[in-house]
Amino acid sequence: EVQLVESGGGLVQPGGSLRLSCTASNFTFSSYSMAWVRQAPGKGLEWIAYISRSTVNIFYADSIKGRFTISRDNAGNSVYLQMNSLRVEDTAVYYCARSPVNSYWLTYYFDSWGEGTLVTVSS
Amino acid sequence: EIVLTQSPGTLSLSPGERATLSCRASQSVIGSYLAWYQQKTGQAPRLLIYGSSSRATGIPDRFSGSGSGTAFTLTISRVEAEDFAVYYCQQYGSSPWTFGQGTKVEIK
């Protein structure tokens, strides 16, 4: 069974930084793209960052562009989200998600998800 | 940015009834690149459908998806107790990839 385990969430003051980690297991990590999707309390889902298998393609939502950075370590089966200049509106559960790869059609959907880690930005 | 509008906001059904959930896009979804997810309270989302109509691995055949352009539908042929949850659509044909606001399927 595919496993994605997020860590690194917590309480941080506005303007602060956090680094989220996601460790993957039970699949060939380097064969998949990865993404972060967040969900504010009581709200819907918001895709925020994506990284391809070899890191050639990296995409961000406008809401976090310039403040957050996604990266990955294929040897360590991990993906990261460095979050700087955090705002109150960044408060959410952050999910790590796997995105399949296909040569013939777009596959920017998410076929496996972690349980999420809560980030609370508050003074 | 493509805005996805889901309706109804809440669907109240009895087990065994048919559920029809709608997802409308503000502009055409390229390639019918639309996915559906199920999220139960306190849990992560689960992929149900991708490519508008392809079921994900392990998803029961009572779940089906259809549509193209700007109008998409998720149908649950006979709702079971485990299907009561919030359902989200997501388009992935145009960046930024966006989600609908969700439809809650609740027990009547």
Nearest CA in chain A to B103: A44
Say whether the peptide bond before residue B60 is cis (omega within 30 degrees of 0): no
Cβ contact, residue pair A113, B44, below 8 Å: yes
Contacts B100 to A, Cβ<8 Å:
44
Contacts A61 to B, Cβ<8 Å:
96
Write out the two tokens for A103: 């040569």
What pLDDT is recorded for position A51?
97
Reading chain A (123 residues) residue by residue, the pLDDT tens digits are 999 999 999 999 999 999 999 999 999 999 999 999 999 999 999 999 999 999 999 999 999 999 999 999 999 999 999 999 999 999 999 999 999 988 887 889 999 999 999 999 999
Tell me the average pLDDT of chain B. Answer: 97
B46-98 confidence digits (pLDDT tens): 999 999 999 999 999 999 999 999 999 999 999 999 999 999 999 999 999 99
Cβ contact, residue pair B50, A111, below 8 Å: yes
Contacts B57 to A, Cβ<8 Å:
111
SS3 annotation, chain B = CCCEEEECCEEEECCCCCEEEEEEECCCCHHHCEEEEEECCCCCCEEEEECCCEECCCCCCCEEEEEECCEEEEEECCCCHHHCEEEEEEECCCCCCEECCCEEEEEC
Cβ contact, residue pair A44, B100, below 8 Å: yes
Nearest CA in chain A to B92: A108
| pLDDT (average), residues B25-54 | 97
